[in-house]
Copies of this chain bind each other. A is one copy, B any other.
């Protein structure tokens, strides 16, 4: 049986995502609600190794819910991948009197937490926060909804200039190996084509489709390309290939880049982060460990961390069909 939880540490790690601040806030206020102490660890596991830790109370997280990024800052720690690094981290945990950790991030964050738990038998709860939505066991990750809105707003702007000039735009969006951002934002932005890593449809099919699209009376086109797309060409090569194989189109490339990671979180992400932050503290106080709190069918659920890191694989064939139909 697990010892009583008197003090909880919270950190954010890996790529930042909008809503991380809302999750931290929910953890901190949940601690205050339950009369448990709370400490913030700066710069993820690296800050734990260096003892960069600060007490947080309910007022410490005032007005952070609306802000992108993470005020605890994030990092990828190489030192934490070593046994020595993790030992130093554990020493600081003892020194700070922490009884459990809430780690907010993606699969790298959870993997680190799992290893740490296995070595020190220290209670760990994960909260999924990454714009890529590539975590198993949760329908949505914190930051994903905001990133979708950011992408759609950006492509709406690009559409203005594409329509004005009868141009073809290739727009690269994030998502690592997951096509969720590309597929959903592509539908949302009314993209004519969407290239995602889960499919390898080949560039010839793309050329055919663009020809058909032109014939049907479309004068401008947006193609959304996921960064992990398997066409074998990067987006600039793809642009060249299309230019060589298609007449009459002026082609432009836009790599949306890091704007997708920032920005004030959407209402959905703020509420999700609030639910999961509260859920993480609930789980700890219920004696759970080594789990991620996720959202499934709108309910907060507990998922073993080792399941969570098995990757998203949320590719939805019905959504591809919706994309094909609505871009006709």
Contacts and interface: CB of A to CB of B under 8 A. Distances in A.
Contacts of A159: 63, 66, 69, 262
Contact of A149 (B166, B257, B266): B266
Interface string A254-276: 11111111111011101100110
A160 B261 contact: yes
A150 interface: yes
A322 interface: yes
A52 interface: no
Given A160-B263, A261-B160, A277-B326, A74 B165 contact: yes
A278 interface: yes
A318 B300 CA distance: 10
Q: How many copies does the complex hold?
A: 4
A164 B254 contact: no
Contacts of A299: 318
Interface in A282-296: none
A205 interface: no
Contact of A188 (B217, B267, B300): B267
Contact of A326 (B274, B297, B318): B274
Given A70-B164, A190-B66, A326 B156 contact: no
Given A257-B254, A258-B252, A321 B278 contact: yes
A58 interface: yes
Interface of A: 12, 16, 18, 20, 25-26, 29-30, 32-33, 43, 58-59, 63, 65-70, 73-75, 139, 145, 148-154, 156-166, 169, 184-185, 187-190, 216-218, 252-264, 266-268, 270-271, 274-275, 277-278, 297-300, 316, 318-319, 321-322, 324-328
> Would you list the 8 A-B pairs with minimal beta carbon distance, nearest first?
A157-B262, A160-B262, A68-B160, A69-B160, A188-B267, A148-B267, A16-B164, A188-B270
25 contacts: A16-B165, A25-B190, A29-B325, A69-B164, A73-B165, A148-B268, A149-B149, A149-B266, A149-B267, A157-B261, A158-B258, A160-B261, A184-B267, A184-B271, A187-B271, A188-B270, A189-B270, A252-B257, A274-B326, A275-B318, A275-B319, A275-B322, A277-B326, A278-B322, A299-B318
